[in-house]
Amino acid sequence: MLTPVLAVAQSVVTEISGVSDAMRANVEASLSLKKAEDLERVSVWRLRQMARNAREEVREALEPFGHYSANVSARLIEPDGEGRPWRAQVDIQPGEPVTVASIDITISEPARELEAFQQWREDWPLKEGSVLLHRPWREALSRLEQIAEAHGFFESRFARRTIRVQPDRGDASIHVDYDAGPRYTIGEIDYGDSGFNLGLMNALTVLEPGAPYESSEIDRQREVLVQTAYFDQVVVEQRRNPDSDTVDLRYALDKRLPNTYRVSTGFGTDTGARVQLGWTRHYLSDRGDRLDTRFGAQQTDSEFVLRSNYEHPFGNQPGNFLTGELLLKRESDRFRFEDVDRNEPVFDSFSGNRNQAQVTAGRLRERPLFARPFEPLRERLFVTFLNEQFDAFSAGSLNDEQAALLESNPGLREFLDTDTNTVAIGGEWTLLRLVGRGFSAEGLYAEARVLGSLESLGSDTSFLQGYLNARWHWRFLPRHKLLARGELGYTAANTTTFDLSIPDDPRRLKLDITELPELFRFKAGGDRSVRGYGYEALSTNRNGANHTLVGSIEYEYNFAGDFAAAAFYDVGNAFNDFADPALKSSAGLGLRWYTLIGPVQLDVARALDNDSFRIHFTIGTKLL
């Protein structure tokens, strides 16, 4: 018996005409003739079968784009030489697409009353008169199921979801009937073995039994526990109870080790070399109180700082603390005799040591005013006691000029040897919105502060001070970024004015000194202020001032990887008289390298009032 031999084509090439882009891609993915191009050998009988099937395959491939009446022809052309491929020509005339004639969408109670479901209905993509596209249909239905899941409708289902197409009329009707079912609520909450007392865990729990279930609230609960820094791992386990339509929660928490030690170094043209040692005790007891202590030193002014913060949770909300703070600071400082319109001092400065000791007690509270990515508003109300000492005579004998200046102006002595006490009451509010990292980081930081002191409270001077500080970073297009910042400070405080001179010496200086403690005085100039000027070099006679006004605008271009070029303009000063702020301005160019420890910044700035140039270089400072 003889077996028939089938004719075999070496290969096939398929040519498609009449469609392009997404429709062509879908046709190629659905067409058997196109898939046959990958076969080394295929029978002629099979090719003819594929050509007959092509009409239906193409029509089905075009339906997701609204084309239900396409005219399709498929023709096979036998090769005119041995070893050459067969050719398949598929010509497509899609015709007019089907449009949506009517829409009937219903969602059962109580889901239909929720904003998320109402917004979904408003965002329904297939409006009346639009082309019937299948992909938006599928995505919209999938999104509805996700919304239901996120809001606790775990038994939801589609009672009906159909599209009725009438190709001869060129239109379609859409019907969606969604049975959301019951909405689950929060059931029992088990804190597990957290290692902390019940009062603290109650305060850290933002969910309440009986509250409607929302996945975003579960995420917020997880985030609250993470932000405490009490735990290495936080898992909020969920168990559904269909009999009661509730979801029980259990915290699976791994308590972190109590201590963290840190060493950090950096360098800046303002500060010189700097180092910081830190110790954080994340919890002192099962009440969750904690201590953060840092010691820092910097080369400029031989400055040493010890700062220790204590926080004790209170109330029934997360982020609420009673706080205590200790600050000890010592630095070499100078009492300066300088004119704002001159580069060199008029008289020799008096060098001395400045010591500051500050104890602050207060209350810290977080207020969630805005939705993510905004952090909660941090509010700190406090009372502070400050002792400040400055001694310009301990370094040794005075030179002849200094002695003559004191003899002619004896009122200066009380400003050169001070020991003052200040009791002040104040409030501070900070708001942060930050998205992204490195060059992509953008957002807003805003700070407001009010501080006041009265002699009747035991202070050596009375004053009232307000301060606003804001920084805004906006990235537009992939490689461009705009940065703006501003500071405004005002203080109602007394000043003392001297008309300084020395007999038989032509030099004269009008010296205006505020009675504010040095810690609360405003100063401008430097890497983070008005570039082109030295660190804190701008203020009335360079001894600090009652008021400040600073603004900056900067443009960055990300030219390669983590590197960006910058151009900027700064303006500002610190002064005692708002009628004569004597604002200074500068402009310059810079280079940014965004690293894991923060941006490395190199700026070359020109002071526009005296045409001098200054290089600013910082490592490891955050932009926001």
pLDDT above 90: percentage of residues in the chain: 73
CATH number for the domain spanning 416: value is 2.40.160.50
- Going by pLDDT thresholds of 50, 70 and 90, the confidence category of residue 620 is low
Q: Is 120 helix (H, G, I), strand (E, B) or coil?
A: helix
Separation between Cα atoms, residue 311 and residue 330, nearest integer Å? 25
Q: Are 431 and 445 in contact (CB under 8 A)?
A: yes
Q: Given pLDDT bands bounded at 50, 70 and 90, which one contains residue 624?
A: very low
pLDDT in tens, 420-444: 999 999 999 999 999 988 899 999 9
Pair (244, 295) in one structural domain: no
Domain boundary pick from 93, 118, 136: 93
Domain annotation covers residue 386 = yes
What lies within 8 Å, CB to CB, of 284 at 6+ separation is 290, 291
Residues in the chain: 624
- Are 127 and 201 part of one and the same domain? no
Give me the mean pLDDT over the 71-82 stretch. Answer: 87
Res 243: pLDDT:
94
Query: Scanning the structure block, which residue is given the tokens 């002629």?
Result: 44
Judged against a pLDDT cut of 70, whether residue 556 lies above it is answered with yes
Same-domain check for residues 45 and 67: yes
Tell me if 59 sits within 8 A of 30, measured CB to CB: no
Amino acid identity of residue 226, one-letter, is V
Give the total number of structural domains in the chain. 4
Residue 1: the pLDDT is 39
The answer to the question of residue 430 being in a domain is yes
Residues 86 and 230 placed together within one structural domain of the fold? no
- What is the overall mean pLDDT for the chain? 91
Q: CA–CA separation, 566 vs 594, rounded Å?
A: 13
Same domain, 285 and 337: yes
Do 62 and 163 have their domain in common? Answer: no
Which CATH number do you get for residue 20?
3.10.20.310
Tens digits of residue pLDDT in 210-262:
999 999 999 999 999 999 999 999 999 999 999 999 999 999 999 999 999 99
What pLDDT score does 4 carry? 45
Residue 542: count other Cβ atoms within 10 Å of its Cβ.
Answer: 22
**For residue 283, what pLDDT is reported?**
95
Asked whether residue 623 is domain-assigned, the answer is no
Residue 345: pLDDT band (50, 70, 90) is confident
Check residue 3 and give its pLDDT: 38
Q: Of 595, 617, 601, which is closest to residue 554 (Cα–Cα)? A: 601
* pLDDT tens digit sequence for 182-192: 999 999 999 99
Q: Mean pLDDT over residues 298-303, rounded? A: 80
Position 117 confidence tier, pLDDT thresholds 50, 70, 90: very high
Last residue in a domain, options 45, 72, 93: 93
> Do 31 and 149 share a domain, yes or no?
no
Q: What is the pLDDT of residue 395?
A: 64
> Residue 440 gets which letter from DSSP?
G
d(CA 305, CA 296): 5
- What's the rounded mean pLDDT across residues 528-543? 90
Overall average pLDDT of the 545-553 stretch: 97
Residue 1 lies in a domain: no
Q: Which domain holds residue 70?
A: 8-93
The pLDDT of 342-359, averaged and rounded, is 89
Average pLDDT of the segment spanning 397-422: 90
Q: Does residue 3 lie within any of the structural domains?
A: no
Residue 5 has pLDDT above 60, yes or no: no
Tokens of 386: 């400050």
Average pLDDT estimate for 402-419: 90
Encode 544-582: b = buried (16+ Cβ within 10 Å), e = exposed: bbbbbbbbbebebebeeeeebebebbbbbbbbbeeeebe
Last residue of a domain, one of 57, 74, 93: 93
Q: Which DSSP string do the residues of 31-78 spell out, in sequence order?
A: -HHHHGGG-S-EEHHHHHHHHHHHHHHHHHHHGGGT--S-EEEEEEE-
pLDDT at 270: 67
Q: Based on C-alpha coordinates, what's the Rg of the chain?
A: 37
Q: How many CA atoms lie within 13 A of 134 on its CB side?
A: 15
> Is residue 213 assigned to a domain?
yes
pLDDT for the residue numbered 302: 77
My answer on whether 120 and 213 are in the same domain is: no
pLDDT value of position 623: 38
Q: Of the ranges 339-353, 430-444, 606-620, which is most confident?
A: 430-444
6 pLDDT more than 60: no
- Could you tell me if 598 and 485 lie in one domain? yes
Q: What is the pLDDT of residue 84?
A: 81
Average pLDDT, integer, range 407-432: 93
| Whole-prediction pTM | 0.76
CA distance 516 to 496: 11
Domain-embedded: residue 624: no
Task: State how far the Cα of 528 lies from the Cα of 293, in Å rounded to an integer.
Answer: 25
Q: pLDDT digits over 355-406, tens only?
A: 999 999 999 999 888 887 888 999 999 999 999 999 988 766 788 898 899 9
In a domain, 168, yes or no: yes
> Mean pLDDT throughout 94-113?
94
| Mean pLDDT to the nearest integer, 137-162 | 96
pLDDT value at position 26? 94
Q: How confident is the model at residue 203 (pLDDT cuts 50, 70, 90)?
A: very high
Strand 246-255 relative to strand 185-190: parallel, antiparallel, unpaired?
A: parallel
**pLDDT bucket at 271, cuts 50 / 70 / 90:** confident
Question: Backbone dihedral region of 181: left (phi > 0), alpha (psi from -120 to 50 degrees) or beta?
Answer: left
For 145, left (φ over 0), alpha (ψ -120 to 50), or beta?
alpha
The per-residue pLDDT for 611 is 80
**Pair 81, 158 in one domain:** no
**In which band, very low, low, confident or very high, does the pLDDT at 268 lie, cut at 50, 70 and 90?**
confident
- DSSP-assigned letter for residue 124: -
Q: Same domain for 409 and 551?
A: yes
- Asked whether residue 578 falls in the same domain as residue 611, the answer is yes
